[in-house]
Amino acid sequence: MEKAFIIAKREIKSYFVSPTAYIIIGLFLLISGFIYYVTLLSSGVAEVRGFLLNMCFTFMMLSPILTMRLLSEEKKLGTLEFLYTSPIKVSDIVIGKYLGALLLYLVITLFFLQFPLYLVLFSKPDLGSILTSLLGFLLNGCACIAIGLFASSLSENQLIAAVVGMISVLFFWIIGWVSGLSPGGVGNFFASLSLIKPLENLSKGVINAEDIFYYSALIFFFLFITIKRLEWKRW
């Protein structure tokens, strides 16, 4: 794990020496402020559910920009082959890349905290639902980054990686709508794959083991197949 942390440190530095981090943070805050005004200030209701879902969707659309270069750039520059020949496990590479992107996401989350803080300072919202909503925002972002990292492993072209990543995260969002159109067990199966259901539960202040397991399984699955994808390419 020590080598993974070294890679993560390198990744977070690379974000801030390029315009990427500043563009993502700026875009997210701009969109957040607009949605905050539309969904909360204009309605006059101190309720975070709609705001949370909109902001999770916004980050989903921005997350491929954050992750597209993680492995694609290494492949294009040929530095991934160098990492293969070094005494570093493929799992360390993947986890290190993931943690680097995750650290930037935590910085974005720190900026995002100002919006629920305004609610607490100037109104009397349900504090429990705000805390669980923040948990949902964090977990949703962690899952999107894992999906985007896998997309980045598929091509050395960053644009292709971003498009594949966006289509992938959209799939897990849209399938929640499809579940409502499908009968019985099929609909329930689609709903179990959707990012929307656990977010709705958390935005209502409900924490259950099923939702936490869903996010954990989704993150583990995409990190696992990313590792297997790179190991296959290595040999």
CA distance 45 to 129: 14
Q: What are the pLDDT digits (tens) for 189-220?
A: 777 778 888 888 887 778 888 889 999 999 99
Q: What are the pLDDT digits (tens) for 40-49?
A: 665 556 566 6
Q: Contact 204/182 with Cβ under 8 angstroms? A: no
Q: Write down the pLDDT at residue 213.
A: 92
Which of 22-26, 150-154, 177-181 shows the lowest per-residue confidence on average (mean pLDDT)? 177-181
Amino acid type, 211: D
Q: Contact 145/63 with Cβ under 8 angstroms? A: yes
Look up residue 13 and give its two tokens.
């530095």
Full-prediction pTM beyond 0.85?
Answer: yes
| Tally of domains in the chain | 1
Q: What are the pLDDT digits (tens) for 98-142?
A: 999 999 999 988 888 887 777 777 767 677 777 888 888 899 999
105 contacts: CB under 8 Å, gap ≥ 6: 66, 141, 142, 145
Domain that holds residue 100: 2-40+47-232
